[in-house]
Amino acid sequence: MFSLHFTVLANTFMPVQGSEIAVDVDYHYAFLVISSLIAFIILIGGMTLFIVKYKRQTENDKTAYISHNHFLEFLWSFIPFLIVMGVFYWGKVIYDKHRTFPEKAEEIHVIAQKWAWEFKYKNGVSIESAKGEVLHIPVGKPVRFIISSRDVLHSFFIPGFRNKQDAIPGRFTSMWIEAKQEGEYQVFCAEYCGTGHSNMPARIRAVAPEAYVAWLEEKKANTPVDPNAGNEMAMKGASLYKELGCSGCHTVASDAPKLSGPSWVGLFGSKREFADGSSVVGDENYIRESILNPMAKIVKGYAGIMPPYVGRVSDEEIDNIIEYIKTLK
C-alpha cells in the first residue's frame, strides 16, 4: 500500500516522466516531501502543543530553569546530519546518472541565441524553433545534446526529462536524455537572457526509431539547397547574420514576424525614411555606417536600441554581410 501511495505522491505535481531518470528523480522528490512533512509535524506540532499547554496564567509564573540537555542536543544534531548525508548520497547517485554519457548516443548540436533555439543534426538538417519546427528524437535510444550559445547565457531546460544545462558563449556544454515512451515535451530557456527570455520555447517529439530515421531522411531531402551556394561571401554573411546576433532584431524572410529592428528584405536599393525626416537609398555606405554607428540614422518607427558594433566586427565581415543583404529580395 505504501509504495502505491508513494508513487501517487511522487508525480502528482511533477510534469510527465519522459525517461527512467525522471522516475528516479520523482521517487527522490517523494521521499524528500514525506520526510519534510514528518519533520515539519514534529517541529511545528511540538511548538503548537507547547503554546497551548504552557499558556501564561499569571504575570510572573514560575518557569522551570532548564538551561540545556546534552543528550537531546546530541540527538537533534547527529540525526539530521545522518539524514542530510543520506539525501546527499541519493542525490549524487541520480546526478551521476545524469552526467555519465553513454557511448553511442545520437549527437544533436543545440545553439541558443537571443530568443530562439537552433538544432543541427549530424547529417546537416537544421531545425529552428523560431519557425515553429519540432525537434524529433528516437524513443529508447540515448540522445546527447552539445549545447553552445551565440550571445548571452541561456539554459536548455526540458522539464519532462528533469534535466537542464546552461548554454555558455565561447564554450560547449553537454547533457543527455533517453525518451522511454513517445510523446511531445516542452523546452524552456531557464537562464535569464533579456526581453524574449519567456518566449523562446521549443518542442521535442519522441518518435519510434524507424519513424525517426524516415523523418530525418525526408527532412534531408527537401531542405532547400542554400540559394547563394556559389556566392562564398554571402554564405559567410548568412552565418555572421546569426553569429553576431542580428537575427535577434532583424528578419530576413518577408513572411517572418516583425521584430524590434527593421527587416533586411529588399533593404539594398530601396528608399529608407529616417526619424529625422531625411532619407537615403540603401547602399554599401549606409549599411556599413548603420553597423558601426547605428545611432547616426534611425529608421522611422523604430527605437534606437541597437548596440554599436565598432571594434567587434572587421571590414571583411561587413562586406560579407552586405553581400548577404544583396541576396535578400
Complex with other proteins: residue 159 or 183, whichever CB lies closer = 159
For residues 279 and 293, what is the distance between their CA atoms, to the nearest angstrom?
A: 17
Complex with other proteins: residue 225 or 310, whichever CB lies closer = 310
Complex with other proteins: residue 174 or 263, whichever CB lies closer = 174
Binding other proteins (rule: CB under 8 A), the pick from 197, 203, 205, 297 is 197
- Residues sharing a CB contact under 8 Å with residue 296, sequence separation 6 or more, in sequence order: 289, 290
Q: How far is the CB of 290 from other proteins (least distance, A)?
A: 16
Residues in a beta bridge with 165: 156
Enumerate residues 3-62 that contact other proteins by CB under 8 A: 13-15, 24-25, 28-29, 32, 36, 39-40, 43-44, 46-47, 50-51, 54-57, 59-62
Q: How far is the CB of 88 from other proteins (least distance, A)?
A: 5
Q: How far is the CB of 208 from other proteins (least distance, A)?
A: 25
Q: How far is the CB of 36 from other proteins (least distance, A)?
A: 4
Of the candidates 143, 156, 158, the residue with the CA atom closest to the CA atom of residue 14: 158
For other proteins (CB under 8 A), the number of binding residues is 93
For residues 153 and 114, what is the distance between their CA atoms, to the nearest angstrom?
A: 9
Q: Is there binding between residue 102 and other proteins (CB under 8 A)? A: no
Crossing angle of helices 284-292 and 315-326, in 10° steps, is 130
Q: Is there binding between residue 104 and other proteins (CB under 8 A)? A: no
Complex with other proteins: residue 68 or 329, whichever CB lies closer = 68
Question: Residues 136, 100: contact at Cβ < 8 Å?
Answer: no
Segment near other proteins (CB under 8 A), from 176-184, 220-228, 304-312, 320-328?
Answer: 304-312
Q: Is there binding between residue 169 and other proteins (CB under 8 A)? A: yes
Angle at 303 between CA 301 and CA 308, to 5 degrees: 130
For residues 220 and 270, what is the distance between their CA atoms, to the nearest angstrom?
A: 35
For residues 320 and 287, what is the distance between their CA atoms, to the nearest angstrom?
A: 12
What nine digits make up the cell of 207? 518518435
Q: Which residues of 267-293 are buried (b: 16+ CB within 10 A; e: fewer)?
A: bbeeebeeeeeeeeebeeebbeebbbe
E strand or H helix at 169, and its extent? none
Q: How far is the CB of 54 from other proteins (least distance, A)?
A: 5
Q: How far is the CB of 32 from other proteins (least distance, A)?
A: 5
Segment near other proteins (CB under 8 A), from 91-99, 176-184, 213-221, 234-242?
Answer: 91-99
